[in-house]
Copies of this chain bind each other. A is one copy, B any other.
């Protein structure tokens, strides 16, 4: 595991940069301190090392398969999930009175990060269950919680999210699954669902599907979507599962990566005997789902980040060990080959990985920290930042999902490149990480949809209040950095980039106000990348401030090297990546219509 998780970096981000310990000043979290946080992460690393990582390659090579009767999954998966449950991770963010740890979400994200890096496929099962459990905890009735949530938190029932359908992937408007009321808050469910992760297996007694469906007579489109609990098996007298609830496996989807997380097409109610329980009110399903989805999107971004992080660690170790070639100025073939980390182009590829993955990890944890602030506010705590927390989180979510799934995939690509032919072979894990990571730009809302969400919804909401809040915080960091002479130039670069991003935003919103909605949104993907770069640069400037101040203190040699590495990675991002913002801003300002004016028949 030392190969795939930089514990030093995790601690630096959590405790030094984000000051997660400060959360314990609030009543809700005051049962904790840095030691309890670290103990949780220690446990996660131990379990990930012992139970998750060892079978990652085996599971990829020998993924779940349907034997005609059951979905078979190598037994190491069940053992790993059991260890996860036994350690209490499923209940980590739940209240103490629910048997939970009442842990901050930021610490929970940190331990999840460990599992993502170790084996994202196996981690998928408990994490899907956790997401479903969180949703039920917020929106289900007490009865529903007793019947479904409690067995999930005990690890006896697993959860899924059933949104997509074969004919309607990203377009939830067009789902056709139907829910007919049969009384007592129960409904008969009928329809097909596609791309359902964890949709069928024998890892748990039962599977709790959270299904989006339409109740006949409801409003058209997304406003007529409701959410249902649909167990794989009916619940027996004792609450344990008994006969089938008419949820049938149509088939498994075989994928390029994430192969260990079984992915299914499911049929609900083919024999007209599938019963679901309405969650909350009719027609509010999408709203409930999106409450969960936003956290899931931050989670997807974190997963992408950690696949990139693991690839970075592997290729870094390889680059230190592998001796090949000589310095460009050394023309003597008799001299000893050097470690390839000495070659500038290899360092470029390592720095690019470091800059992308550590910047993105900071963003994932920053978002989690915002969620914690909401929790404090909800629990009655007093927080200056209370109002803007929610806005910021909404704005950052599409970035936190899409940016890492683009640039940490790029990091995985570079990890392969550093390792050459070895990186491309299944002897090393980096090719698997690359395949796994390719999914993250697709699921939980494609990156194209994130871009539309960011520009079309989040940037414009409340007259741009969220973007104002973001720029306010970025400017605060810039001001802080400017107090340090060594960081003035860096801070100014970010200031300039913020101005460029703001001016592109104004040009685009002006077009929207003139009714040119098509032009406003046509290049939203470029906008997301641009604002994403600004945000990641901000994440690096925050890290640079902390690294700078620690360097001024009394640090040993090893710590000094770590901190200098942080400053150098920050410099890399600011010199190699941030300048892209200028061109993107200029481009967006032209309201380019190349994609709009292209005709389908011209291809």
A contact set with B: CB distance below 8 Å: 164, 167-171, 173-174, 194-195, 220-223, 253-257, 316, 320, 324-329, 333-334, 337, 339, 341-348, 350-351, 354, 413, 416-417, 420-421, 423-427, 431, 434-435, 438-439, 441-443, 446-448, 451-452, 456, 517-518, 521-525, 561-562, 564-565, 568, 571-572, 575-576, 579-580, 582-583, 586-587, 590, 592, 594-603
A603 touches B171 (CB 8 A): no
Q: Can you list 12 A-B pairs with a CB-CB distance of less than 8 A?
A: A169-B420, A194-B421, A255-B431, A256-B425, A316-B603, A329-B518, A341-B600, A345-B451, A423-B442, A565-B598, A576-B592, A583-B583
Assembly of this chain: how many copies? Answer: 2
Measured between beta carbons, the chain B residues less than 8 angstroms from A348 are 522-523, 525, 595
Given A345-B451, A348-B525, A517-B328 in contact, is the A421-B564 Cβ separation under 8 Å? no
Separation of A327 and B561 alpha carbons in the complex (Å)? 53
A425 touches B254 (CB 8 A): yes
Helix, strand, loop or mixed for chain A's interface? helix
- A588 to chain B minimum Cβ distance, whole angstroms, is 11
- A550 to chain B minimum Cβ distance, whole angstroms, is 14
Separation of A524 and B320 alpha carbons in the complex (Å)? 22
Given A255-B425, A421-B442 in contact, is the A344-B521 Cβ separation under 8 Å? yes
Measured between beta carbons, the chain B residues less than 8 angstroms from A442 are 416-417, 420-421, 423-424
Measured between beta carbons, the chain B residues less than 8 angstroms from A421 are 164, 169, 194-195, 253, 442-443
Given A334-B220, A518-B328, A595-B351 in contact, is the A256-B345 Cβ separation under 8 Å? no
- A64 to chain B minimum Cβ distance, whole angstroms, is 14
* A-B residue pairs, 6 tightest by C-beta: A221-B333, A565-B602, A256-B431, A345-B448, A344-B522, A347-B595
Q: Which residue of B lies closest to A439 (CB)?
A: B424
Separation of A441 and B171 alpha carbons in the complex (Å)? 36
Most buried by B among A333, A341, A434: A333
Measured between beta carbons, the chain B residues less than 8 angstroms from A416 are 438, 442
